[in-house]
Amino acid sequence: MARQFMKGNDAIIVGALAAGCRAYYGYPITPASEIAHAAAQHFPALGGVFIQAESEVSAINMVYGTAGMGVRTMTASSSPGFSLKQEGLSYCAGAELPCVVVNIVRGGPGLGNIAPEQADYFQITKGGGHGNYRLITLAPNGAQEMCDLTMLAFDLADTYRNPACIMADGITGQMMEVVEIPEAKPVPFDHSSWEVRGTPESSGNLISSIVLEPDELERHNLKMDAKYRDIMAKEVRCEEYRTEDADLVVVAYGVVSRIVYSAVDEARAEGLKVGLLRPITLWPFPSAAIARLAETAQRFLAVELSTGQMVEDVQLAVNGRAPVHFYGRCGGMVPGGKELLAEFKKVLEGGQS
């Protein structure tokens, strides 16, 4: 298998092409712009389509149209741009169209800055747009996962006919690492039962998110809700590190998890029983795994690049069986290993975070 040194943002396009995506629509925004640059370079060369749209709104609606044709398609942006896509994402979810949307989160609110944050967690996992819908959300913590989880996102989107999101941050997008280039594979899904291509074969199919009759819309909502419950039962992904005897379980995702790995090792070297649970899917959230750990762990600590968003899901999973603490940096600030180790000690000694 070939290996290449590249940015996490470039690895997303490598994964998308290997997954059979052939249509990219986007609007450049830092720190996600390399994704559009790579797409412009490689999609046309492989017989696909790249269009720099006039706006984020246009880009997500181009994705809607192409997904309706049964073609694997994607867009990418950063926080303010992702906000502009919310109406289109709701339309895609309502019409049950598979697509992949990437958000390389930057500091906010507003224009903020181009430094890393994780403060779009609520927007992505709770639904930033209108109506009853969910986004399957994957959180890579390095360039290889930017590639691999993008491929997985396309398969999950097709399996459940639902948009899937990659949530990363400015560091993960810009950081350069060695990536093993996956082999391209054919799209293992048949879209003929619902795609609309303007052909006699697809003339009976209809792509729409408008349902005027209340009883029909209720049935549609309940059908989607059943799908989301199925996703919650089958598609939770997380990673545990040294949790088997942990008194303190740290919950962290994305780039922060990489710092926590080192801080956990430093804590263990000092005789402190600390472990890490890393959510790989932010939705569905690994609540059951956290609940299991709450049977033995004395305390939990959520570490985020925000003022505290994921911590609410950790509290729900722990359900009062142990104290849940929080430590966060924001505005583009990232905690160091020594900083986290000091926080671990404070929490284990009964201090408040």
* pLDDT tens string 188-241: 999 999 999 999 999 999 999 999 999 999 999 999 999 999 999 999 999 999
For residue range 248-268, list pLDDT tens digits in order. Answer: 999 999 999 999 999 999 999
pLDDT value of residue 353: 59
Look at residue 316 and tell me whether its pLDDT is greater than 80. yes
Residue type, 107: G
- Using the 8-state DSSP alphabet, how is residue 247 labeled? S
Encode pLDDT of 59-100 as tens digits: 999 999 999 999 999 999 999 999 999 999 999 999 999 999
Q: How far apart are CA 227 and CA 162, in angstroms?
A: 9
Look at residue 351 and tell me whether its pLDDT is greater than 80.
no
Q: Is this model's pTM higher than 0.85 or not? A: yes
CA angle in degrees (0–180, nearest 5) for 207-208-211: 145
pLDDT class of 350 with cuts at 50, 70, 90: confident
pLDDT at 60: 98
* φ, ψ for residue 96, nearest 5 deg: 55, 55
Do 352 and 324 form a contact (C-beta atoms < 8 A)?
A: no
* Residue range 273-287, pLDDT digits in tens: 999 999 999 999 999
Q: Higher pLDDT residue, 144 or 127?
A: 144
Instruction: Number of helices (H) and strands (E) in the chain: give both, helices first.
Output: 13, 15
